[in-house]
A = this chain, B = another copy of it.
Amino acid sequence: MRRIASRGVYDRAAVYAILDEALVCHVGIVTDDQPYVIPMLHARIEDELYIHGSPGSRLIQQAAAGSPACLTATLLDGLVLARSAFHHSLNYRSVVVLARGREIRDRDEKWTIMERLVERVVPGRWAHIRQPNEKEFNGTTLVAFPLDECSAKVRTGPPKDDDEDYELPIWAGVIPLALRPGLPQPDTRLPHDVPPPSHVANYRR
């Protein structure tokens, strides 16, 4: 993924669409000059991004304490096969967010974000499940990041080869990629009379 200015995307709606489609982001935090990058489920509501974790997680503690963070979400869309090795690339959409986190302590706000963390993965799921009890609620730390400093990079379309290479008899094009769901696998401990609800049977990405 090369550094090409024209791949920058600065439209807020485009940035948010990428964040919403990506299931996880990679959260970077620094401890004693060493960066740590960890994949985490995220959720967005309006102009804030949320992650959650155990109160015992060091990354969550640092994020909640406002340590500088970087949250990057990436969608892979295709393998770009050019005529030259040099112009091989990937089609992708990625968003980089630079922000300092704050812990969400307000009960109502925390509940709303917990709901979003489930609903944004499988819409319709929240109303169907056993919701958090007091112990689970208190045992989850939520961290909010403002979406002030964020940008997207997108590569799309066919390979771009050097002019003289277009005459070479080399196949070029794109092999598309997408994260696809398979058939739902019921838990073996599920009673036989519990059919998959529509939010499972009709799950699409």
Footprint of B on A, CB under 8 Å? 1-3, 23-24, 26-30, 33-41, 53-54, 56-57, 68-72, 74, 76, 79, 81-86, 88, 90, 92, 94, 96, 98, 114, 118, 121-122, 125-126, 128-133, 136, 140, 158-159, 165-166, 168-191, 194-197, 200, 203
Contacts and interface: CB of A to CB of B under 8 A. Distances in A.
A113 to B, nearest CB: 12
Contacts of A33: 30, 68
A39 B131 contact: no
Contact of A34 (B70, B126, B128, B174): B70
Given A122-B79, A191-B169, A36 B28 contact: yes
A187 B94 CA distance: 24
A187 B169 CA distance: 12
A88 B118 contact: yes
Contact of A129 (B83, B133, B182): B83
B190 A182 contact: no
A128 B26 contact: no
Contacts of A85: 114, 118, 126, 129-132, 136
A35 B35 contact: yes
B39 A28 contact: no
A130 B84 contact: yes
A4 to B, nearest CB: 9
Given A70-B28, A71-B37, A175 B184 contact: yes
Contacts of A125: 81, 88
Nearest to A88: B118
B190 A35 contact: no
A81 B53 CA distance: 17
A88 B179 CA distance: 19
Contact of A176 (B39, B74, B183): B183
Given A81-B122, A85-B131, A186 B169 contact: no
A89 B83 CA distance: 42
Nearest to A89: B41
